[in-house]
Chain A
């Protein structure tokens, strides 16, 4: 293994060791959403023809869990290492900022995908799942997880205390994921909120991802791919720049 591969392996092992908390927990949470919202709204909400509300919920919940966990992985690893002081072991190594980026974001993508797949596997007990365009599913899953992993790197570098990171999670990540169309189609919103939703990159991640399952979406999957791709590149560029200058980790 080369240096960055070892860091990637260590980062994966870090969350794997506490899988009950990092994988099983988020899957259980998604299942509770599915059980409660699916049961309560199944007969009241019609989103797409031919698609039950529970089936509609599954991709959104899987993507939401995937995104939140990808973010949590890189951000929590960095803030813990900073607070505990053990980041010094990495800072002393010859690993470059690109190595750091690939390892932290790679582990985030992996955790996001594991949680996403976990949500699907558990959902099989609640509803039938179709896969209209699997390549779109894979593309949005990987790009969305990478975007959130890179955002986690930024948040982990920026935050100096756990509560700052919690604030980032509660006031930025959570609202943007919940208001992205996980539980509804934006066509059911008033025009003003439809317009607002179009400025939320999370909407494109969820909508494009859902297209992979049903072959229908609120906007063109190509538009979603473009927005998510551009956002991923922009956030990655910022994360790499901060790693390069050693933002809040080298004085």
Chain B
């Protein structure tokens, strides 16, 4: 039985810009299964439908069609069972200003019907570096600390399936390390983890399998290693002092002064460097590295930038 199952899930919203009555399709027939014990990454640009998919899974929104279940429990018809098995870390930094950290955790525990949970609450506080903040009011905590509390709140009822919606957005390196160490430990203990993130380096390091979404459709779904293998094997990377000509710029990934071209072989490397020289530019700090998940992501998004998007079970 899959830990999470999305079957032909679509979600239509009233279109804010189109004529009255028109709808905007945030999710279009999304189907994917996440097996028990997996560390699964859900990637995609802003507006791809990642958060919509998670809000449907969490019961915060209803799918227009399709079925979603958590360890066999339908999130609509059997919502109590489904939600008891699910721990969700929301993207927004929200908190209840009336209570301190320990109270918030006790309440959340109680809503799930978990009694005498102080030992686990203490363990959570300790593991997430919150032990000395237990009596602090949520208002007094920094953004990073609030994020840790959100994680603790999601885990307080020991859910077998954990969903993290961009948990490291805007947080410092220390928290990322603490968080990933703790989540990886939970995953090793058998918890299924579904992660959405814009940090592709994190996804590459942590996730065993990855799905990429674009405009509400699954455009890639495979193991992380297979996705990396399928991409261009090498990347030519160098720095320049002026702008690339438009004809070259469309082929490259440009980040400030850093330019990166997908390069399968020595011929391609030679070709790009010649083109740069002929454009009157000087390339510095030239290096050739192996493609990473970000390259794969850019490739996939580029391939599906037209209207010929099709859904597939592997990189399509």
Are A and B physically bound partners? Answer: yes
Q: Chain A: residues with CB nearer than 8 A to chain B? A: 1-3, 5-7, 9-10, 13-14, 17-18, 81, 84-86, 88-96, 246, 250-251
* Shortest Cβ-Cβ A-B pairs, 10 listed: A6-B110, A85-B94, A94-B80, A93-B111, A251-B61, A86-B96, A94-B83, A86-B94, A3-B111, A10-B107
A-B contact pairs, 17 of them (CB 8 A): A2-B113, A6-B111, A10-B110, A81-B96, A85-B94, A86-B95, A89-B108, A89-B111, A92-B60, A94-B80, A94-B81, A94-B113, A96-B80, A250-B61, A251-B13, A251-B55, A251-B62
Partner of B98, one of A1, A9, A14, A91: A14
> How many B residues touch A, CB cutoff 8 Å?
31
A1, A2, A88, A91 — which one has the most chain B CB atoms within 10 A of its CB?
A88
A90 touches B95 (CB 8 A): no
- Specify the chain B residue showing the minimal Cβ separation from A81: B96
**Per-residue 0/1 for B63-107: is the Cβ within 8 Å of any A Cβ (1 yes, 0 no)?**
000000000000000011101101010101011111100001001
Evaluate whether A84 and B95 lie within 8 angstroms (CB atoms) in the complex, with A89-B153, A92-B58, A250-B62 already known.
Answer: yes
Partner of B59, one of A81, A89, A91: A91
B101 to chain A, nearest CB (A): 13
Residues in A whose Cβ lies below 8 Å from that of B277: none
Extra 13 A-B pairs, beta carbons < 8 Å, given A89-B96, A92-B59, A94-B84: A13-B98, A81-B96, A86-B95, A88-B94, A89-B111, A89-B153, A91-B58, A92-B83, A93-B83, A94-B111, A96-B80, A251-B55, A251-B61
B24, CB-defined interface residue at 8 Å: no
B115, CB-defined interface residue at 8 Å: yes
A95 touches B111 (CB 8 A): yes
Q: How far is B106's CA from A5's CA once the two chains are assembled, in angstroms?
A: 13
Residues in B whose Cβ lies below 8 Å from that of A251: 13, 55, 60-62
B107 touches A250 (CB 8 A): no
B182, CB-defined interface residue at 8 Å: no
B112, CB-defined interface residue at 8 Å: yes
Residues in B whose Cβ lies below 8 Å from that of A246: 62
